[in-house]
Amino acid sequence: MLGSDVPNFVVTCALLAAVVLAGSMAFGDDPAVLIEEESASLRAELAGFRSVPIDEFVFLNDRSEYRWVLGPGFAPAEADGTWVRSQSAQLIFYLPDTGEVVESPFLLELSVSPLLVGNQESRSIVVRSAVEEVDVELEPGGARVLVQLAPNEEQVVELECDALDSPAEDNLSIDMRRLCVKVYAMAVRKGLR
């Protein structure tokens, strides 16, 4: 009889551990999303999913085939876009090799909206590529942000937040996540400025 109780005890402990882990992920930070850096092997594995077209607006929501450009620091994609839920987040994508010599630089255009709580009237973010850094003050309703891209195939663009806040601070939500801005869409443009 003692021998048959051991497997039941192991199964019970495993189920309890799974429930505790699921609960902590629901109310805490999801380690799968908040990784600090992507390993070289993961980046290589995702490269095929991160190619973006030129001069085409692509959505970064949960149904978009382009959601793979969302790197470390982004929350899981939602129906309308994706929240930044870390002090900094990375968009990682690849430009297509068109074989053309590009005379004007490529620009990344982002459609973003800030989380504003309490009496906040705006939120500061920095958008940084390998060749340019843009300071942006986002007001209600969001904005279009442009940053110049390097002439490389691989692009890493960082969004750096001034702070993280919770929607629950306004008593308008039970959402306890710490968030900054929501990114709705992006486009790579040829010399738009």
Give the model confidence (pLDDT) of 103-137 as tens digits: 668 999 999 999 998 889 999 999 999 999 999 99
What pLDDT band is residue 66 in, cutting at 50, 70 and 90? very high
CATH superfamily entry for domain 35-190: Galactose-binding domain-like (2.60.120.260)
3-state secondary structure of 145: strand
- Give the number of other CB atoms < 10 A from CB of residue 108: 23
Domain boundaries, the chain: 1-30, 35-190
Closest CA to 132 of 148, 146, 144: 148
Please state, in angstroms and as integers, the Cα–Cα distance from residue 65 to each residue in 52, 88, 151, 187, following that order: 10, 23, 24, 14
Average pLDDT over residues 34-58: 80
Contact 149, 189 (CB under 8 A): no
Strand order in the sheet with 133-138: 88-94, 154-161, 123-128, 133-138
Of 99 and 183, the one with more pLDDT: 183
102 DSSP assignment: P
What is d(CA 140, CA 162) in angstroms, rounded to the nearest whole number?
Answer: 16
Q: Which two three-digit tokens encode residue 157?
A: 């663009």
Average pLDDT over residues 61-71: 95
Contact 73, 85 (CB under 8 A): yes
Q: Which residues are registered as beta bridge partners of 138? A: 123
Of 144 and 47, the one with more pLDDT: 144
Rg (CA), the chain: 20
Phi, psi of 181, rounded to the nearest 5 degrees:
-135, 160
pTM over the 0.85 mark: no
| Predicted local distance difference test score (pLDDT) of residue 29 | 42
| Predicted local distance difference test score (pLDDT) of residue 169 | 76
Q: Return the percentage of the chain with pLDDT > 90, whole number.
A: 57
Average pLDDT over residues 179-190: 96
| Predicted local distance difference test score (pLDDT) of residue 12 | 52
List all residues 6 or more positions away from 45 whose beta carbon is below 8 Å from its beta carbon: none
Q: What is the mean pLDDT of the chain?
A: 81
Q: Which two three-digit tokens encode residue 177?
A: 């996540």
What is d(CA 69, CA 135) in angstroms, rounded to the nearest whole number?
Answer: 22
Contact 52, 69 (CB under 8 A): yes
| Predicted local distance difference test score (pLDDT) of residue 11 | 47
| Predicted local distance difference test score (pLDDT) of residue 175 | 83
- H helices present in the chain, as ranges: 2-27, 40-46
